[in-house]
């Protein structure tokens, strides 16, 4: 596990250089008056591991820029990719606009570059913003934020694709969560596209998305707590946490209403990473549901695919088989 004395720890992402895992995580002082204030004080720190269990803290890499910058208030969730001998971090800049409203928050996707995964330099002039043709923007509804965050980038042939936590510009206000989408040829110039999913799937947002391929099957993983499920979903008894849904491949539309719960919301911000035996593992942060926020990143949980292409915790499937459940046809990644 990863815990940091005196700090709340939550969303994270991992870069693997082949020798070590580099984990980048949001954190804020646990001395703040309330845990919700951590979002306005978030910075990105770095830790290193060789086994996904024991982590060495490596210090801060990005913090709020202040002034009128797109990350003036805080630095939020992102991802790291490697290309042409450099590492690029796509991350979320948060800027709270108190002159607009007490919760008004403008989210923008920004970039930083590194040669060693330790020292990072912001990429000046880079910003990807929500396109009002398809996405809800600040002030266009009663929703207090412009949701445009948590970028996840994958290579798709000769181009790059980006999955983004976003909200559609139509539909019930509590049911507008969609998977935002953008494409690029060079990681520098990005073209925002219509979302890959539709509103009305039961989610106010699809947070911390990840696109991952396991044993030839592409899967989208995202998080949504019960509190951000639509009213209709909650009335139907659906509860939140970490979700997965099989998809046809990068950039392919999918029906988010078909997503299934991978883990309850006691674990959140789920990330899939391959261990050194090339087995998929799930990590998340312990949210401390029903108690004071814990802010600890979990040890890895082994994953497998069900016969329908959904992710499942391997130990859960083993228990299901002992109880006479269905055996998945894919037990390991290749």
The reported pLDDT for the residue numbered 36 is: 84
Spell 177-203 as b/e; 16+ CB within 10 A means b.
Answer: bbbbbbbeeebeebebeebbbbbbbbb
Q: pLDDT for 88-100, tens place per residue? A: 999 999 999 988 8
pLDDT of 329 strictly over 80: no
Q: What is the per-residue pLDDT for 323?
A: 36
Residue 216, pLDDT score:
95
Res 319: pLDDT: 38
Q: E strand or H helix at 234, and its extent? A: helix 231-235
- The pLDDT value recorded for residue 291 is 60
Mean pLDDT of the chain: 92
Q: What residues are paired with 13 via a beta bridge?
A: 24
Q: Find the angle CA(225)-CA(229)-CA(230) to the nearest 5 degrees.
A: 170
Per-residue model confidence (pLDDT) at position 101: 77
pLDDT for residue 322: 34
pLDDT tens-digit profile of 285-303? 997 765 667 789 999 999 9
pLDDT tens by residue, 26-67: 999 999 888 889 999 999 999 999 999 999 999 999 999 999
324 pLDDT above the threshold of 50: no
Please, what is the Cα angle at 121 between 83 and 79, to 5 degrees?
50
Distance CA 119, CA 133 (A): 37
Cα separation, 177 vs 170, whole angstroms: 10
Domains and CATH numbers, the chain: 68-322 (2.115.10.20)
Tokens of 194: 């219509």
Is the predicted pLDDT of residue 331 greater than 90, yes or no?
Answer: no
* Per-residue pLDDT at 315 exceeds 90: no
Q: Which H or E run includes 274?
A: strand 267-274
pLDDT digit string, tens, across residues 47-56: 999 999 999 9
Distance of alpha carbon 331 from alpha carbon 233, whole angstroms: 31
CA 99 to each of CA 34, 102, 144: distance values in angstroms, whole numbers, following the listed order: 22, 8, 13
Q: Is the pLDDT of residue 332 over 60?
A: no
Confidence of residue 318 (pLDDT cuts 50, 70, 90): very low
pLDDT in tens, 203-242: 999 999 999 999 999 999 999 999 999 999 999 999 999 9
Q: Comparing C-alpha atoms, which of 140, 197, 187, 210 is closest to residue 166?
A: 197
Structure tokens at 56: 């060495």
pLDDT at position 290, please?
Answer: 56
Which residues, at least 6 apart from 125, have a Cβ–Cβ distance to it below 8 Å? none
First to last CA, the chain: 27
Residue 328 has pLDDT above 50, yes or no: no
pLDDT in tens, 233-244: 999 999 999 999
- Asked if residues 175 and 204 have their Cβ atoms less than 8 Å apart, the reply is yes
Residue the block writes with tokens 């911000």: 269
pTM as predicted: 0.93
Q: What is the pLDDT of residue 316?
A: 59
């Amino acid at each position: 596990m990863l815990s940091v004395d005196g700090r709340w720890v939550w969303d994270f992402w991992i870069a693997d250089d082949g020798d070590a895992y580099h984990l980048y995580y949001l954190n804020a002082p646990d001395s703040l008056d309330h845990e919700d204030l951590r979002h306005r004080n978030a910075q990105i720190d770095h830790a290193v591991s060789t086994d996904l269990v024991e982590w060495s803290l490596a210090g801060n890499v990005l913090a709020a820029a202040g002034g009128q910058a797109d990350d003036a208030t805080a630095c939020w969730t992102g991802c790291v990719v490697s290309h042409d001998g450099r590492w690029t971090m796509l991350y979320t800049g948060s800027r709270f606009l108190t002159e607009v409203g007490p919760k008004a928050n403008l989210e923008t996707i920004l970039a930083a570059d590194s040669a060693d995964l330790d020292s990072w330099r912001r990429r000046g002039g880079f910003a990807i913003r929500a396109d009002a043709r398809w996405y809800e923007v600040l002030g266009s509804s009663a929703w207090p934020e412009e949701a445009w965050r948590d970028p996840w980038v994958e290579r798709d042939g000769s181009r790059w694709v980006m999955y983004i936590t976003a909200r559609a510009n139509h539909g019930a206000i509590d049911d507008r969560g969609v998977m935002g989408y953008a494409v690029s040829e060079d990681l520098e110039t990005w073209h925002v596209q219509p979302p890959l999913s539709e509103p009305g799937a039961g989610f106010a947002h699809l947070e911390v998305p990840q696109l991952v391929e396991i044993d030839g099957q592409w899967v989208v993983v995202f998080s949504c707590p019960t509190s951000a499920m639509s009213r209709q979903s909650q009335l139907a008894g659906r509860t939140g946490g970490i979700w997965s849904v099989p998809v046809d491949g990068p950039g392919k539309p999918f029906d988010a209403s078909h997503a299934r719960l991978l883990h309850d919301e006691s674990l959140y911000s789920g990330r899939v990473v391959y261990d050194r035996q090339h087995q998929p593992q799930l990590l998340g942060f312990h949210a401390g549901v029903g108690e004071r926020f814990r802010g600890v990143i979990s040890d890895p949980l082994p994953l497998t695919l069900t016969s329908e292409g959904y992710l499942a915790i391997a130990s859960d499937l083993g228990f299901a088989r002992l109880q006479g459940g269905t055996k998945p046809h894919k037990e390991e990644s290749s």
